[in-house]
Chain A
Amino acid sequence: MLSIGQYVRAQSLEEAYTLCQKKSSVVLGGILWLKMQNRTVGTAIDLCDLGLEGIEETEEEFRIGAMTSLRALETHPGLNAYTGGAMARCLGSIVGVQFRNLATIGGSLYGRFGFSDPLTLLMALGAKVELYHRGVLELEEFAALPFERDILVRVILPKTTKGAVYLSQRNTATDFPVLTFAAARRPEGLVCALGARPGKARLFRDEEGILAGGITPESAETFGRWLADQAALGHDLRAGEEYRRRICRVLARRGLLELAKEE
């Protein structure tokens, strides 16, 4: 049951930021997660009038407003062209179209949820978040921060990666993932993100140069094993640690081989 004392449509980011400093206030992306938490909210701050919806594409980057729905990202031709369809793959298994029309990218990322598909992919792609107070920072950095009272304004996705893949393992087609995997070729080298560990997505780099000679079935297999050893995997209602370990090896190997095929 969601209980809200006051509903305010912020007319400026400054107003939203000021209001959200109070402990009992909550910034609304959507209310999908909020309403399941049995919370009493003093002030609900809605950002819907701040023009934060929309995807802008330039030569260098995508600028995605925080209030953009997951569905809009999922169906965006530019984002899918850039990611080779990984964006649609990443988001298309989340509950249903109606759900994705309501879930905002801001809401999805701010929670830094373990089960978050978009957090995994965007982290691998080197996305940045622009926070009203803190400014712009890498998603990897943002994910590591503790919860702070700030406003996520937009996601900036620089067009710097060449090739991306997204894979997830789910017990049923539209359930929370048991494990998420994304890989991308950044200018500095290949990176991959592993999420739903069940912990939130973490970035991994090929520190040991396993893929230095290129992605082959053997090197992809070895990298998968290495990744499974590195990652802090655990258990939850959906899967145990050992199963995640096995899936990690498989998703990493399959993901890398798919990445190699894209070239």
Chain B
Amino acid sequence: MEISLTLNGKTVKAQIAPDTLLLDFLRQQGCLSVKRGCETANCGLCTVFLDEHPVLSCGVLAARAAGHQVRTLEGLQSEAEEFVGFIADQGAEQCGFCNPGFVMNTIALLRENPDPTDDEIRAFLSGNLCRCSGYEGQLRGIRAYLDWKKKGGADRGE
């Protein structure tokens, strides 16, 4: 069947099978940042925005997304760039495989709640698994970013 949807601001038309998952569709469209880590919707690696809500792209049929807006990390580079440097400054990106899903969901968190507590950050990101970093460095990075923003978000000191 043919579907049409908006992907990172561009209209995309493609032939899909009725059971094509949005995750696989997005990777076929070249959005290689979207990763698969499990089959049971537990890991969060495949997080994308569907009409600006963070969702698991493994849990959405591409057919369901037809007519809707999808955003992946490829389409959020400048918004991501502002904050991911703070994660890099912690070394908390590690293997990087969980990064795109984590970055997407953090952007979603901060859009909904620009000034979260540590507990709120952890709770919102609880669906993003990471096996390398132990989570603590990611929290430090987000906190450093938020502190920087509070101070006016000017010069990035190294």
- A and B physically associate: yes
Residues of chain A at the chain B interface (Cβ within 8 Å): 2-7, 28, 30-32, 35-36, 41, 44, 46, 48, 69, 71, 92, 95-99, 101-102, 173-174
6 contacts between A and B (CB under 8 A): A36-B39, A46-B61, A96-B44, A101-B50, A101-B53, A102-B55
Residues of A within 8 A of B60 (CB): 30-31, 102
The 7 closest A-B pairs by CB, nearest first: A96-B127, A7-B18, A4-B19, A4-B18, A7-B63, A102-B59, A101-B53
A71 CA to B105 CA in the complex, in Å?
A: 14
Residues of B within 8 A of A30 (CB): 59-60
Pair B44/A98 contact, Cβ less than 8 Å:
yes
Instruction: Tell which of A5, A44, A69, A98 touches B127, judged by Cβ atoms closer than 8 Å.
Output: A98
Instruction: Tell which of B56, B63, B125 touches A99, judged by Cβ atoms closer than 8 Å.
Output: B56
A208 CA to B101 CA in the complex, in Å?
A: 52
Identify 16 new A-B residue pairs, CB closer than 8 A, beyond the known A5-B18, A28-B61, A28-B64: A7-B18, A7-B63, A31-B61, A32-B56, A35-B58, A36-B40, A41-B19, A44-B18, A44-B61, A48-B64, A96-B125, A96-B128, A97-B54, A97-B126, A97-B127, A102-B59
Name the distance in Å between B129's Cβ and chain A's nearest Cβ: 9
Pair A7/B61 contact, Cβ less than 8 Å:
yes
Name the distance in Å between A129's Cβ and chain B's nearest Cβ: 23
Name the distance in Å between A75's Cβ and chain B's nearest Cβ: 9
Q: B154 in the interface, Cβ–Cβ < 8 Å?
A: no
A165 CA to B58 CA in the complex, in Å?
A: 33
Pair A97/B61 contact, Cβ less than 8 Å:
no
Name the distance in Å between A31's Cβ and chain B's nearest Cβ: 6
Pair A101/B18 contact, Cβ less than 8 Å:
no
Pair B64/A46 contact, Cβ less than 8 Å:
yes
Q: Mark B34-50, 1 if CB is under 8 A from A, else 0.
A: 00000111101001001
Q: B14 in the interface, Cβ–Cβ < 8 Å?
A: no
Q: Mark B66-99, 1 if CB is under 8 A from A, else 0.
A: 0000000000000000000000000000000000
Number of cross-chain contacts by CB at 8 Å: 81
Instruction: Tell which of A5, A41, A98 touches B55, judged by Cβ atoms closer than 8 Å.
Output: A98
**Chain A, interface SS category:** mixed
A69 CA to B18 CA in the complex, in Å?
A: 22
Residues of chain B at the chain A interface (Cβ within 8 Å): 1, 17-19, 21, 39-42, 44, 47, 50, 53-56, 58-61, 63-64, 105, 108, 123-128
Pair A98/B19 contact, Cβ less than 8 Å:
no
Residues of A within 8 A of B124 (CB): 97
A101 CA to B41 CA in the complex, in Å?
A: 12
Residues of B within 8 A of A7 (CB): 1, 18-19, 61, 63
A217 CA to B87 CA in the complex, in Å?
A: 48
User: Which B residue sits closest to A71, measured CB to CB?
Assistant: B53
Residues of B within 8 A of A4 (CB): 17-19, 61
Pair B55/A2 contact, Cβ less than 8 Å:
no
Residues of A within 8 A of B127 (CB): 95-99, 174
A32-B41 contact given A7-B63, A101-B55, A102-B59, CB 8 Å threshold:
yes
Pair B41/A99 contact, Cβ less than 8 Å:
yes
Name the distance in Å between B62's Cβ and chain A's nearest Cβ: 9
Pair B56/A102 contact, Cβ less than 8 Å:
yes
User: Which A residue sits closest to B101, measured CB to CB?
Assistant: A98
Residues of B within 8 A of A48 (CB): 64
Residues of B within 8 A of A3 (CB): 19
User: Which A residue sits closest to B3, measured CB to CB?
Assistant: A7
A6 CA to B1 CA in the complex, in Å?
A: 9
Pair A31/B59 contact, Cβ less than 8 Å:
yes
A102 CA to B50 CA in the complex, in Å?
A: 10
Name the distance in Å between A56's Cβ and chain B's nearest Cβ: 20
Name the distance in Å between B39's Cβ and chain A's nearest Cβ: 7
User: Which B residue sits closest to A75, measured CB to CB?
Assistant: B112
Name the distance in Å between A243's Cβ and chain B's nearest Cβ: 23
Name the distance in Å between A207's Cβ and chain B's nearest Cβ: 38
